[in-house]
Structure 1
Amino acid sequence: MNPICKNCEHEVNGNFCSECGQSTHTHPINFHYLWHDIQHGIFHFDKGLLFTAKELFTRPGHSIREFIEGKRVSHFKPTSLVFLLGSFYGLLYHFFHIEIPANVTGEDTGQTFNVMGDWITAHYALATLFTIPLLSIASFLAFRKTGYNLVEHLVLNGFIAGQKLMLQFIFFPLLYIYSGTQTILLLSVISVFIDILLAFWTYNQFFDTQSTIKNILKTILTYIYFFIMFTVLTIAIGLVLELVIKKA
């Protein structure tokens, strides 16, 4: 007699239930189970965070396109990836008390800018997620003739956001060493420059049916669209915040 699935109580023939997909090999919930789940969910090289990190820094565009086309078992999901990395980065940022000197942000930039900067720092995962829809609309408009829909662009830019967060972890020791100094400004510029280069590389691999020149031009157009939308939205949020601050 075939075993019964503990999740949906259907008869199982094989290692996984054909109805709900649960494995027939369930283990008691204990410390061994927890460690096994951490290893295979995050740190296992063939499935999880490390595999996704390897793909995003060796063949980013190809791996993202394969994910969209259905090759998904080994990858960390893009939204979970951004939430996990962004939340952990935010904790590190606060735990090690990274400070940006006043003359980097500018003391004359106004209270509104400081409020927005503090919110972005305190909610880094949400702030990163916030940029994904804007970048996705921008890339969808720039690469609209390639045949990918808006949701697929959301997946593409979600993985790119995860890629950028991983780069931030590489820079973090330097941020800690130079916390509160002018060098942080230089590190930020270098980080943004590398982010842009990675985006060019990823877009060019992802849209591999077009020439590299065309992909470069459309990537530039993507960032122009994004900058326009981001600026308009930032001004609108700034005006609302100023009204709230004045009333308070």
Structure 2
Amino acid sequence: MGDASMCINCGLAVANPEQKFCPACGQPTPVHRIDWRFLGHELEHSVLHMDRGILYSLKELMLRPGHLMRGYLEGRRAKQVKPLLLLMISAAAVLLLGKLLLDGDIVGSAMELGFAGSGAPKAGAGMDPTALAATFAAAKDWLNGHMTAFTLLCLPLEAAAFWLAFKGRGLNYPEWLVVSAVLTVQSFVFMALAIVLQRWIPSAQAWVLLCVVAYTVFSLVQLFNRHSGWTSALRALVGLGMFMVAQSLMVGAGVFVLFLLFSRG
């Protein structure tokens, strides 16, 4: 199809008839007609290659997370799935498992328990208990239905917290966004396992936070393996602490606004 001596997309002359892509725009050269062979080739490269990349990235993420992140930051990215794409896929997997096994209630009662121990408004302290119950129900429903959006909203906070905690270690803020995305995928893996195991181990989801904290520290110590492990672990805990405080304030502010709306309604 088309003139084999030039790129059909941008018109650049093809210097070598054996070249596979145009150096100017990336268009495949020569262009092949869509037939069964073409569709089979596209299926192999677009689906199977991505599947292999996902399996490789997930395996490395759980076994050698620090090395995986360092390799991506240093440019060894051919075998890896892009962190944001992997984040979307893992979030979708958690949502699907939640719908199938938890009737869509991924957040569960954890949010109410968390706010009960915090400085959140409590019934009996001059607060309308009906409005309070409606507030928690609405917030829980929103988090259950918009987990991916909430995760993306929290990602800049997590990156900022680790950027501050590890200042002087050579990573800029955009690089910490990538690291935070990878760490979030890791947390989704633990969430997915907890959802699956909850049928046999009712307290499985209660262990997720502990696993996430421990694996985050392990991952960052491995990422900065040229530095003192104890210092890296301490910085990781400080970064996690700052992120959790910022995340709690953000969620608390949202719940407070909802409470005001329900109180006036």
Rg comparison, structure with higher value: 2
CA distance in 1, matches of 2:94, 2:35: 29
Q: Which moved more, 1:52-61 or 1:95-104?
A: 95-104
Q: Deviations over 1:168-226 (max 9, x none)?
A: 33333223x26xxxx54x21122221111110111111122320000111011112211
C-alpha spacing 1:245/1:67, structure 2 compared with 1 (3 Å): same
1:5-154 superposed matches below 5 A: 5-12=7-14, 13=16, 14-24=19-29, 28=34, 32=40, 35-36=43-44, 37-41=46-50, 43-44=51-52, 48-96=53-101, 97=103, 99=105, 105=112, 110-154=133-177
Q: Which residue of structure 2 aligns with residue 208 of structure 1?
A: 225
Partner AA of 2:59 in structure 1: K
CA distance in 1, matches of 2:209, 2:215: 10
Q: Deviations over 1:50-89 (max 9, x none)?
A: 1211221222112212211222222111111111221232
Shift of 1:17: 2.2
TM (norm. structure 2) is 0.78
Determine which of 187, 190, 193 is the counterpart of 2:210: 193
TM (norm. structure 1) is 0.83
Judge conservation of contact 2:195–2:205 (CA < 8 Å) in 1: no
- How big is the alpha-carbon RMSD for the aligned residues of Structure 1 and Structure 2? 2.8
Judge conservation of contact 2:60–2:68 (CA < 8 Å) in 1: yes
Aligned residues: 238
Partner AA of 2:143 in structure 1: I
CA distance in 1, matches of 2:20, 2:42: 21
CA distance in 1, matches of 2:237, 2:164: 12
Shift of 1:33: 5.1
Identity over aligned residues, as a percent?
A: 26
Shift of 1:231: 2.2
CA distance in 2, matches of 1:103, 1:147: 40
Structure 1 unaligned regions, length at least 5: none
Partner AA of 1:32 in structure 2: G
Partner AA of 1:216 in structure 2: A
Shift of 1:243: 2.2
Partner AA of 1:79 in structure 2: L
C-alpha spacing 1:84/1:3, structure 2 compared with 1 (3 Å): farther
Q: Which residue of structure 2 aligns with residue 237 of structure 1?
A: 254
C-alpha spacing 1:136/1:100, structure 2 compared with 1 (3 Å): closer
Structure 2 unaligned regions, length at least 5: 117-122, 124-131
